[in-house]
Structure 1
């Protein structure tokens, strides 16, 4: 017999999301172009100053979609520990990327995209909503952030 653990309280869920944002290396980035063609890729990221920071080239679909559409849905790959983040994206050229965000990204990943060619761009995704749940028992209360404000 499989036992379902009791639902986590909202504060525990928020802390689990923050822990995961600090621990994980890859995050799934979903975007769409102006015609609605979806694109889904995993990218390295860092959680820094209440935003997800990631790097990709403006010449690929994800970079163009983030630049042109300004929106993204981010997720982790484990279906038993769901975290969905919807946010607005802001683009920085490699030379304009905030130094503190660059240091945080380099510190976490060990990679400096500014040294690669062709040039990469830096993207800050500011969360607008965050949802997290473990199975059906946690669907109620899964909204941890709405309109850019933590609900817990």
Structure 2
């Protein structure tokens, strides 16, 4: 099966940015979240998990247990890599942890915004649940090999 997007010309940076923002703000959007920790012997221990997300005020918001491996890794290192879409229409985000907010203490813009976009509400959950607010530092987007040049859309937290 051929990819119908393969017959089109590469998107402009403006179109890629618009497509990326549309993907980020789509309701019920899941994201792959990659984090890492360091084992006792000094080796890196990567971890990858799918999570629901919300795009609120130009930030990725995740809801999870602070004690989960992803929660512990993000809280300890302050960084993660996120991926949206499939391999032929991907958005890669390198992000920094801006803040952690206990679900029970979250301001309405985070709690209600997350529940509305993610299509589930963690507020009735456990006491260890937190919202992690991630600030994108670098964003890349591409569909096919012809879009690899120019895939960088954001650098140092600024749209190009």
Quickly name the TM-score band, shorter chain normalised.
Answer: over 0.9
SS at match of 1:37: strand
Contact 1:132 1:143 in 2 (8 A): yes
Partner in structure 1 of residue 10 of structure 2: 7
User: Are 1:72 and 2:103 counterparts?
Assistant: no
Distance 1:115 1:28 in 2: 24
2:22 to 10, 19, 22: 19
2:36 to 32, 39, 42: 32
TM-score normalized by the length of structure 1: 0.92
The structure with the largest strand share of the pair is: 2
Question: What are the Cα deviations for residues 2-26 of structure 1, in whole angstroms up to 9, with x where unaligned?
Answer: 6531000000000000000111521
Contact 2:67 2:128 in 1 (8 A): no
Distance 1:101 1:82 in 2: 26
CA root-mean-square deviation: 1.7
SS at match of 1:20: helix
User: Are 1:119 and 2:128 counterparts?
Assistant: yes
Partner in structure 2 of residue 86 of structure 1: 94
Structure 1 runs, 4 residues or longer, greater than 4 Å off: none
Contact 1:34 1:69 in 2 (8 A): no
User: Are 1:139 and 2:142 counterparts?
Assistant: no
1:59 to 48, 64, 67: 67
SS at match of 2:47: strand
Contact 2:36 2:46 in 1 (8 A): yes
TM-score normalized by the length of structure 2: 0.88
